[in-house]
């Protein structure tokens, strides 16, 4: 059975991306394997506290970065966080920059997305249980602002806002693609934030994405991204990312005011109760139990 969250108390879910697998700052840490009706998550979760705030950490790519972007079990990951009583999710990701002023080493609090992925499970809902949630503003303004402030306090250069182009991968962009994405208005590029952000919204979890810029992708003449460069910047920023998470936990208000995203499923279920697939309803006991019971 999923844990019943207390909406007045913070429970911070942290999805660690490339370069953020060590969260030794978690006190009283316990590693727990949590099962999901949507398959195995990327790995066990680590549950504990940071600055007195309950935190649940999940490595997006699994231990040792064993999962490529297209194989990340996003549905299971979000479902597991919901089952653990998480109220808000902050995701840390390595990203490429599509803007000259978003230099490697800086952080970006992403607030918009363009989806270029394919073949990934995009929703918890489907035949037998249809739902449509709003994604007009895909990240949580409150949590994003707090994450950006925490990163600045930790010593990072932070850009407050940016459009993330989600590419399929696992290869990096061609120069033509990279330049096209700039023309589309994308500011940064990555391979993992979608469908993660979509699924967090369906699970009524406020979501913030703090991207660590590692490179300039391939739009600049004579410049291109390589893994060695990405790893070098990630290693330099890993301590800063951990400090940001610690600072974020410490600066959260003592009580958590409700977020509109807590009720994202209000009015979103289209399928009439008598026509709902009972197996789908059972699978969604954590994600959508509030509106399906």
Alpha carbons 237 and 92: distance in angstroms, whole number:
11
Q: Tell me, what DSSP letter sits at residue 132? A: -
Does the residue 167 lie in any domain?
Answer: yes
Check which CATH number belongs to the domain holding 192 and give it: 3.40.50.1580
Does the residue 256 lie in any domain?
Answer: yes
Q: Which of 79, 115, 217, 262 is catalytic?
A: 217
Does the residue 34 lie in any domain?
Answer: yes
Mean pLDDT value of segment 212-240: 83
Statement: residue 199 has pLDDT above 70: yes
Alpha carbons 293 and 290: distance in angstroms, whole number:
6
Does the residue 3 lie in any domain?
Answer: no
Residue of 195, 197, 233 lying closest to 215 (CA atoms): 233
Residue of 24, 77, 15, 76 lying closest to 48 (CA atoms): 24
Q: Is 217 a catalytic residue?
A: yes
Q: Which of 215, 223, 262, 266 is catalytic?
A: 215
User: pLDDT of 57-99, one tens digit each?
Assistant: 999 999 888 999 999 999 999 999 999 999 999 999 999 999 9
What angle is formed at CA 108 by the lines to CA 23 and CA 168, rounded to 5 degrees?
85
The answer to whether 164 and 186 have CB atoms below 8 angstroms apart is yes
Statement: residue 22 has pLDDT above 70: no
Does the pTM exceed 0.75? yes
**E strand or H helix that includes residue 18:** none
Number of domains the chain contains: 1
pLDDT computed for residue 101 by the predictor:
97
User: pLDDT of 228-277, one tens digit each?
Assistant: 777 777 777 888 899 999 999 999 999 999 999 999 999 999 999 999 99
**R_g (Cα) of the chain, nearest Å:** 18
**E strand or H helix that includes residue 87:** none
Does the residue 63 lie in any domain?
Answer: yes
Does the residue 106 lie in any domain?
Answer: yes
Q: Is 88 a catalytic residue?
A: no
- Mean pLDDT, rounded, of the chain: 93
pLDDT computed for residue 44 by the predictor:
95
User: pLDDT of 147-198, one tens digit each?
Assistant: 999 999 999 999 999 999 999 999 999 999 999 999 999 999 999 999 999 9
The residues with which 13 forms a beta bridge, in sequence order, are: 56, 89
Q: What domain range includes position 240?
A: 11-292
Does the residue 131 lie in any domain?
Answer: yes
């Amino acid at each position: 059975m999923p844990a019943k969250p207390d909406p007045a108390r913070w429970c911070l879910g942290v999805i660690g991306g490339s370069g953020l697998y060590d969260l030794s700052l978690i006190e009283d840490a316990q590693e727990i394997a949590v099962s999901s009706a949507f398959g195995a998550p990327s790995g066990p979760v680590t549950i504990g506290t940071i600055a007195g705030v309950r935190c649940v950490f999940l490595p997006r790519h699994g231990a040792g970065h064993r999962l490529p972007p297209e194989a990340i079990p996003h549905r299971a990951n979000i479902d597991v966080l919901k089952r653990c009583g998480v109220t808000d999710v902050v995701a840390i990701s390595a990203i490429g920059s599509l803007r000259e002023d978003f230099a490697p080493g800086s952080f970006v609090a992403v607030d918009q997305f363009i989806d270029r992925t394919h073949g990934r499970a995009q929703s918890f809902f489907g035949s037998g249980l249809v739902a449509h949630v709003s994604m007009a503003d895909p990240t949580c303004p409150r949590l994003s602002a707090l994450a950006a402030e925490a990163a600045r306090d930790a010593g990072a250069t932070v850009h407050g806002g940016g459009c993330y182009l989600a590419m399929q991968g696992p290869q990096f962009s061609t120069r033509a693609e990279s330049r096209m994405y700039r023309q589309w208005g994308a500011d940064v590029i990555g391979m993992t934030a979608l469908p993660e952000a979509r699924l967090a919204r369906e699970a009524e979890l406020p979501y913030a994405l703090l991207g660590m810029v590692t490179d300039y992708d391939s739009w600049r003449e004579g410049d291109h991204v390589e893994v060695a460069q990405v790893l070098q910047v990630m290693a330099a920023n890993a301590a800063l990312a951990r400090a940001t998470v610690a600072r974020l936990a410490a600066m959260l208000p003592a009580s958590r005011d409700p977020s509109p995203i807590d009720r994202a499923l209000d009015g979103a279920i289209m399928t009439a109760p008598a026509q709902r697939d009972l197996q789908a309803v059972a699978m969604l006991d954590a994600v959508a139990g509030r509106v399906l019971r």
